[in-house]
């Protein structure tokens, strides 16, 4: 008999389950070997993580190093996009880990820039690189029948296009 918390009544129940004790170390290698993702897809996911770490740092430093009226008006946007990019890195790392890969902790090369125009130029290039890489990942994941990875990257790729649009629109007149 088990007492239900905070309700003053008792519950009777029985179970026919058998308990099996497995060490996590015994199960994990088996689960990891079950991955159907190719080495190429796993490598691309790690490259995507490195890129997301890169731009999250890049955009955050651009936010911090604001100077001048023009930069001040977009500074909070840099910060918001940096946070979105970090969430992308987390989502991709979770997927890579599930597929049996080990997420990188190394960001790609960071380009901050010394003025707003230079910063935005670096950012436009970074977003274009991401869009192209993510389209490749989407195509490969579809080819391999990995619907979940495909859908994750379709969502992320759409957000990268929004970031690209933001950065390219900064200097439009």
Note down pLDDT in tens along the chain; length 173 residues: 444 455 555 444 555 555 555 555 555 555 555 567 899 999 999 999 999 999 999 999 999 988 888 888 898 999 999 999 999 999 999 999 999 999 999 999 999 999 999 999 999 999 999 999 999 999 999 999 999 999 999 999 999 999 999 999 998 87
Write down the pLDDT at residue 133.
98
Cβ(66)–Cβ(72) under 8 Å?
yes
Q: Closest Cα partner for 120 from 53, 57, 58? A: 58
Give phi and psi for 110, each to the nearest 5.
-95, 130
Q: Where are the domains of the chain?
A: 36-169
Tell me the pTM. 0.79
Q: Give the per-residue pLDDT at 69.
A: 82
How high is the pLDDT of residue 50? 98
pLDDT for the residue 146:
96
- At residue 8, the pLDDT reads 52
Q: Give the three-class secondary structure for 30.
A: helix
The residue to which tokens 């890129």 are assigned: 51
Token pair in block for residue 67:
């100077």
DSSP letters spanning 57-121: HHHHHHHHT--HHHHHHHHHHHHHHHHHHHHHHHHHHHHHHHTT-------------SSHHHHHH
d(Cα 134, Cα 157) in Å, to the nearest integer? 6
CA gap 82, 58 in Å, rounded: 8
CATH number at 36-169: 1.20.1260.10
CA–CA distance, 7 with 160 (Å, rounded to integer): 51
In terms of Cα–Cα distance, which of 44, 28, 30 is closest to 150?
44
């Amino acid at each position: 008999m088990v007492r239900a918390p905070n309700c003053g009544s008792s519950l009777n129940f029985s179970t026919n389950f058998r308990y099996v004790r497995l060490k996590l170390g015994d199960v994990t290698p088996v689960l990891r070997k079950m991955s159907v993702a190719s080495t190429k897809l796993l490598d691309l996911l790690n490259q995507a993580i490195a890129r997301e770490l890169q731009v999250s740092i890049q955009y955050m430093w651009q936010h911090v190093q604001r100077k001048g009226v023009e930069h001040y008006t977009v500074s909070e946007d840099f910060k918001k996009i940096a946070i979105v990019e970090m969430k992308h890195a987390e989502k991709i790392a979770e997927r890579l880990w599930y597929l049996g890969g080990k997420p990188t902790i190394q960001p790609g090369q960071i380009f901050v820039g010394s003025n707003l125009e230079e910063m935005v130029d670096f950012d436009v290039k970074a977003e274009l690189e991401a869009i192209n890489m993510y389209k490749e990942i989407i195509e490969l994941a579809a080819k391999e029948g990995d619907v979940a990875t495909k859908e994750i990257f379709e969502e992320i790729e759409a957000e990268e296009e929004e970031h690209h649009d933001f950065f390219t629109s900064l200097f439009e007149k």
